[in-house]
Amino acid sequence: MDDNRFHSLPVEDLLNLYSSKPDGLTDEEVKKRIEKYGLNELEEKKESALLIFFRQFNNPLVYILLVAIIITVFMGDYIDAGIIAGIVFINGLLGFFQEIKARSSIEALKKLTETKAKVLRNGKEVTVSVSNIVPGDIVLLEEGDVVPADIRLIESVGLMADEAILTGESIPVEKDASVVLQENTPIYNRKNMLFKGTIIVRGKAKGLVVATGRNTEIGKIAEKIKEKSPETPLNRALKRFSLKWMIILFIILVFIFILGLLQGRDLYKLFMLIISELVSAVPEGLPLVVTFVLVIGALALAKRKTLVKYLPSVETLGSATFIVSDKTGTITEGKLQVEEYVARDEEFLYLTSALCNDASLEKGDPLEIALLKWLEKKDINWADLRIKFPRLWEQPFDTKLRFMATVNEINGKKYLLIKGAFESLIELTRTEDEKLLEDHDKMAEKGLRVLAFGYTEIKSIPEDLSSIKIEIAGLIGFIDPPKEGVKDAVETAKKAGIKVVMVTGDNIKTAKAIARKVSIYSDGDIALTGSDIKKYNDTELYQILKRTSVVARATPEDKYRIVKSLQKNKEIVAVTGDGVNDVPALKVADLGIAMGSGTEAAKDVAKMIITDNNLAVIVDAVKQGRIIAHNIRKVIYYLLSCSFGEIMLLTSAFLLKLPLPLYPLQILWINVVTEGVQDKTFPFSKEEKDVMSEKPKKPEKTFFDKKQLFDISFTAFFMGGINLLLFIYLLEITTYERAVGITFTSLIANQWFNGFQAVREEPFFKNILKSFTVNPYMYLGVGLGMALQLSATYIFPEWLHTVPLTLTDWLLVLTTCLSLFLIIEIKKWIEYFIERKK
């Protein structure tokens, strides 16, 4: 049947529909239903590990390298082919292990509710495994039980359930078996239903199982987990660049090949050029260096209580334009406390709080626990009061009456003590109190959960409480308070151009009150409810979300739709959550951030875990993410400008009908002593400027905007041009082998000097001390590269087609290096003054 109608039909109709009876099913019928409906478990179709492994190589950059490997093998250069193949394989292996780790999401949902439950079978009460519960079973529940399936209540006594795991609402909800609800009643208002995985915090119940396994509300969430997480902004940007570069490279190589044939070039040398161009063109170290940047970033984040499960998510933090945060446990403490109270009779307000209360500090209704903690702050020993004034009678909390009452002997007299909803207690008072109503409304407007407390002296224990008249002792307002540091974090996020939206299952008044306290909500902002969201189509929803800071009474589907709507409009969305209700949104978000104290299901689908459940930690992590993004931008500039510089040199020499200025093996060596050493130091670059004063940039703009492409082209043009002029000059005064050897060393040294400039976005001489201290490891890297190059030049020159250099040769090398360095420095100063003028 339609799974949205269970709450809207009478119990008798449902019993008939499921061919069940109040004393339960027979064992034979249970076996038939297990065959029909399956076990009460969540299933997962697993992709083979082999398929996951091969999928890691589905990348345009890898395709270019594979072509290079094939041509290199065809030409007989097996060592070169082996080196390139090794780099590709290691990169694929890293991605494979990351993905294998992320396959445990549904397993965590299984663990969540795999417990025992009491059911009626063959007219008797028995305990069975939750997986063997079937639709039509009659389940018995009491305080502390985990609900084993989706259940329509048949009977309930003072029943309250904690549904935070499903709806995000921090306060337990009242349940009532007797009501029949409208068909369109949202999940958080279905008083006659219990849902799998939620917890009974008070009372007893008997109910009919109406859904098991994947058909439960949690099961539907598990189905959504199967939806693939989106690619990270970094991966998307790199793939887009790789595809464009592959097309450009293909056009260049086809042009060179055709031109070479027309010029009558030697076919072997032509293939050697194409291999050289391929090896130069592909920054094969880029995936590994980016991974290294992310690893170093992840280690830095770990020191700030942020654990990274999926490395590319480190950069996603820096690109985030929206943070969609839950309330309970992230923005707030996740524990109720007394925020405000109004006393008409202070003594009886304290007495009722202590005596009309079933909780202890460790166990019970969160509201009652909060009362005990409040009394302790008042230096009132509630445990002594319970001994001194014993309970003679009790009326457990009743969901219809909406209050709890006890009779206690106080100083030799019997007193009825009562606490509950203000509306219920006001009907039992002797006189109307306008001031009390005003106090209640003020507290409710602040988003507080308000309880009223009353008392009256009695002669005997009452049979009917409706005839009793009481005095109101006072009102107490409860709140789940904001965490320390959250307000500052939200203001920092706003300054950084990041929109924070709080999505919660709580009521709209409470949500707005909390959001206002931490600066998420302010005058002029929009606050929506889950039911409001359903009124808008996707286009309208996005427009309204841009001005929305609070979404209350939200279901998992609402949060999921919010994320998808933002992503559809190219927003980068970070989502925080800790409950099963957050899992779909965490899964599809660009960055899912789970709380360390959250459910296993949430932690397993998230890409990042915050050990200190605090929005302030997330905003601090955003700052680190931006520093990391800047470092990735720098390393991309460095590697591509060096690669393009090599292409510029090779192509220019070819077009001028000159011999090859570099051998393919020399290009691979360049990648070892410059890109292979110097690029590994970029992850250690410190923050150069206040990254949180910048607005978020789209990933393609962060890494490949017009300025980045201009800088890469500018440096590559001059690097290739200077070394081409050097090569032409050397061919006129010395042998070809010596000209190649000197040009080879010159190009390497040029790339070192390019690295000194790449480490800072501002001019090098603007702050020389900062230029040397922003990343001292850069100079250590160059030192190691220099040692390797000196070995190649003087110890084994014949291996790399080079020659020992004289002092005059080194002066030529130094001249090209300083020329390139100063050209880049002049360009930076021009850009700096233009920017200042703006």
Cβ burial of 65 (10 Å; 0-12, 13-18, 19+) is: buried
**Residue 326 annotated in active site:** yes
Q: Reduced to 3 states, what is the DSSP secondary structure of residue 678?
A: helix
Is-contact 514 339, C-beta < 8 A? no
Q: What is the 3-state secondary structure (H, E, C) of 435-482?
A: HHHHHHHHHHHCCCEEEEEEEEEECCCCCCHHHCCEEEEEEEEEECCE
Instruction: State whether the Cα torsion 771-776-777-779 is positive or negative.
Output: positive
Rounded CA-CA distance 372/362 in Å is: 11
Among the listed residues 326, 506, 558, 604, the single catalytic one is 326
R_g over Cα of the chain: 35
Nearest to 91 by CA among 313, 285, 299: 285
Rounded CA-CA distance 504/500 in Å is: 13
Nearest to 226 by CA among 38, 40, 44: 44
- Give φ, ψ of 143 to 5 degrees: -50, 130
- Give φ, ψ of 283 to 5 degrees: -75, 75
Q: Reduced to 3 states, what is the DSSP secondary structure of residue 9?
A: coil
Rounded CA-CA distance 619/382 in Å is: 41
Nearest to 653 by CA among 641, 663, 664, 661: 661
Structure tokens at 558: 């609402």
Rounded CA-CA distance 451/342 in Å is: 11
Rounded CA-CA distance 473/454 in Å is: 5
Instruction: State whether the Cα torsion 457-460-461-467 is positive or negative.
Output: negative
- Give φ, ψ of 251 to 5 degrees: -60, -45
Mind telling me the catalytic residues? 326
